[in-house]
Amino acid sequence: MLKTYQGLPEGLLRAGPAELEERLGGPSLIEVPGRREPPLFVTVLLHGNETTGWEAVRQVLADFQGRPLPRTLLLFIGNVRAARHGVRRLPEQPDYNRVWPGTSLPDSPEQHLAAEVVARVRSRGCFASIDVHNNTGLNPHYGCVNRLEGPYLQLAALFSRTVVYFTRPQGVQSLAMARLAPAVTVECGQPGSPGAADHAAELISSALHLSRLPQGVPADISVYHTVAAVRIPEQCSFGFGEARGADLQLMDDLERCNFRDLPEGTVFARVSPESRAFFTVEDNDGREAAAEFFQRDGETIRLRRPAMPAMLACNTTAIRQDVLCYLMEPVRLGTPPAAEPA
């Protein structure tokens, strides 16, 4: 059940991520009053091991103790059970960033929870939405949007000049919130990395101080469009480097390829001779498109076409729970690559 709080619970800013379940009792929506309306909506800890968002919010709210915020803040603190254990999600849980309205996942209590959050935010009004995440692998800090419109891109540009535009996967927070207000997901590198919490705090503080978001498209940003999600089938075993006995041996330096233009023929994995293992690839229409992006060349799997990956990580649990990577292509603003979501 969703817990709701008017005002910040006493002592909450002293709590680390692992203590939030005990302090709050479950996923919580907290309203912290400010001078301007409508509220800024911020979500943190949709993945329990992505702690930068909570660290950033603590920093912002500590800076304003004893005085009102420039704008009311609606704060959703998500998967506190997973945060207690320091994991993305528990085995019996769905991904808290795949259960928002528009999801294709089977019905679950978490979906009803997310729908209730959206309904409450809609009833209060929403100035803008910020969803704070971390990456598992080596990635730069970047913002993600679901609409190539000025206010959305301006919000992302407050965080980074590198912006990713995506319309899949379904059921993510920013896709749901983009129907209500400018929305951005920010990826803050790895949890605990130097400067990550400070960077996210700067964004939240800047958004709280804004009276409006400019309408024009920022002139100096680089925008990339995700065109495919790459996964490893459940039945395939895998590892990195010389992973003996594994169906797929992923190159052990793959995560250094994030946000780099990779040419056709780049090797992603080696395959044991007796195995027929291959990636699965979902395109933006939800179709299987592995043959469009990869080819098997003897005992290697290579890119069939140039692409730029994001979110590659040398972490087997993260790959099993999410994706091996996303593949992206550059976007020329003014020529949207696909229809915007309704």
Domain-ending residue, one of 220, 248, 267: 220
Least confidently predicted of 21-30, 181-190, 264-273: 264-273
* CB burial of residue 245 (10 Å; 0-12, 13-18, 19+): exposed
Domain count of the chain? 2
To which residue do tokens 């098997």 refer? 296
Residue 339 belongs to a domain:
no
Residue 335 belongs to a domain:
no
Residues whose CB falls within 8 Å of the CB of residue 238, separated by 6 or more in sequence, listed in order = 232, 246, 247, 248, 249, 250, 269, 277, 316, 319
Residue 72 belongs to a domain:
yes
Residue 342 belongs to a domain:
no
Domain-ending residue, one of 193, 220, 247: 220
Q: What is the mean pLDDT of residues 164-180?
A: 96
Domain-ending residue, one of 162, 185, 220: 220
275: pLDDT strictly greater than 90 = no
Q: pLDDT tens-digit profile of 55-85?
A: 999 999 999 998 999 999 999 999 999 999 9
Q: Which pLDDT belongs to residue 90?
A: 97
Q: Which pLDDT belongs to residue 196?
A: 97
Residue 211 belongs to a domain:
yes
Distance of CA 106 to the CA centre of its chain: 21
Q: Are residues 77 and 130 in the same domain?
A: yes
Q: Which pLDDT belongs to residue 246?
A: 87
Q: Which pLDDT belongs to residue 340?
A: 46
Residue 267 belongs to a domain:
yes
Q: Which pLDDT belongs to residue 341?
A: 41
Q: pLDDT tens-digit profile of 12-46?
A: 999 999 999 999 999 999 999 999 999 999 999 99
Q: Which pLDDT belongs to residue 337?
A: 58
Q: What is the mean pLDDT of residues 124-145?
A: 96
Q: Are residues 167 and 303 in the same domain?
A: no
Residue-level length of the chain? 342
DSSP string of 171-200, one letter each residue: T-HHHHHTTTS-EEEEE-SSTT-TTHHHHH
Q: Are residues 35 and 53 in the same domain?
A: yes
Residue 161 belongs to a domain:
yes
Q: What is the mean pLDDT of residues 46-51?
A: 98
Measured torsion, CA atoms of residues 290, 296, 300, 304, in degrees rounded to the nearest 10: -60
332: pLDDT strictly greater than 80 = yes
Structural domain that includes position 284: 227-330
Residue 337 belongs to a domain:
no
Q: What is the mean pLDDT of residues 147-165?
A: 97
Identify whether the C-beta of residue 103 lies closer than 8 Å to the C-beta of residue 171: yes
**pLDDT grade for 339, boundaries at 50, 70 and 90:** very low
Choose among 93, 255, 130: nearest CA to 189: 255
- DSSP single-letter state for residue 340: P
342: pLDDT strictly greater than 60 = no
The 3-state DSSP class for residue 308 equals strand
E-assigned strand segments in the chain: 3-6, 28-32, 34-44, 69-77, 128-133, 142-145, 162-165, 183-187, 222-231, 238-240, 248-250, 267-271, 280-283, 294-297, 300-303, 308-310, 325-330
Q: What is the mean pLDDT of residues 48-52?
A: 98
pTM score of the predicted model: 0.93
Q: Are residues 314 and 266 in the same domain?
A: yes
Q: Are residues 94 and 137 in the same domain?
A: yes
Q: Are residues 71 and 189 in the same domain?
A: yes
283: pLDDT strictly greater than 50 = yes
Q: pLDDT tens-digit profile of 304-329?
A: 999 999 999 999 999 999 999 999 99
Percent of the chain at pLDDT above 70?
97
